[in-house]
Amino acid sequence: MRNSGRPESDAGTPSAAAGPGQGLESVDNALALLILLRRNGRLRLSEAADHLGVARSTAHRLLTTLRGRGFAVQGADKAYRPGPELYRLGMSHRSDYELVETARPHMLWLSGKLDETVHLEVRSGPEVRFLHSVEGTHVLRVGSRAGAVLPAHLASGGKALLAELTVAELAEVYGPGGGAQPDTDPETLHRRLAVVRRRGHALNIGETERGISAVGAAVRDPCGRAVAALAVSAPSLRFTRTHLDEAAEVLREAVRRMEAAL
């Protein structure tokens, strides 16, 4: 625990006689909080005050300044998390928790519009991992896939994320010749994903699970980097090609809403 060694008023504001040393200390404290946010991904006011060795009012003033500049955001739980400016500078990465918290209201909206199951996915190498699902209300529906892992080149969300990569980046994922997996030669896969890049969404018609169809689209951060994918899945009997096209349009609107919240 650090201690500034200086007395503070109840309001936590520096005295009128504050000199340049105190100003530099405020800068140092703000930088310390940025490092803490980047490292922990989540910070409570009490933790910030304890870490700096200052009054809560002082820590609150510093965090409010960081929030006002876009370096921090405050969630419904009152905790602070890295803001868009930290991501824009490449100083932090969104945690799974942050992605789920940001995506949940838009997933609920999307599921309500289509009455189908919605998934939030992230790519990890050649696989796509399901972080969260919101189930539809049909008796015959796709259940939650939270925690499941599927080949990225087959899942709709995985395809949407792979479509963001260059041939060289695909080679880093699968190896120069595609490795042991079929249909993952980087150049071939990149050409096949051109249709995904053109229309802005990807389809999975029974490729990962017989009788299940899905449509997925990438979610980009303020810097234009794909950080996750939203996907809608349903039994193929109900998710005909016409319904998939209609779902894709609503899906893209949900993606735009989530991107605006990042």
Per-residue confidence (pLDDT) for residue 10, from 0 to 100: 37
Residues 143 and 244 in one domain: yes
Residues 125 and 253 in one domain: yes
pTM of full prediction above 0.85:
no
Reported as a single tens digit per residue, the pLDDT across 154-205 is 999 999 999 999 999 999 999 887 766 778 999 999 999 999 999 999 999 9
The CATH number that applies at residue 102 is: 3.30.450.40
* 1 found inside a domain: no
* 2 found inside a domain: no
Angstrom distance (rounded) from CA 227 to CA 117: 21
| The total number of structural domains that make up the chain | 2
| Domain region containing 117 | 96-261
Reported as a single tens digit per residue, the pLDDT across 62-111 is 999 998 888 888 877 788 887 777 766 655 566 787 889 899 999 999 99
Residues 39 and 114 in one domain: no
Residues 72 and 123 in one domain: no
The CATH number that applies at residue 56 is: 1.10.10.10
**102: its two tokens:** 């940001």
Residues 61 and 143 in one domain: no
Residues 52 and 134 in one domain: no
Q: What is the DSSP string of 15-84?
A: PTT--HHHHHHHHHHHHHHHHHHHHHS-B-HHHHHHHHTS-HHHHHHHHHHHHHTTSEEE-TTS-EEE-H
Residues 229 and 186 in one domain: yes
Domain termination residue (choose one: 36, 60, 88): 88
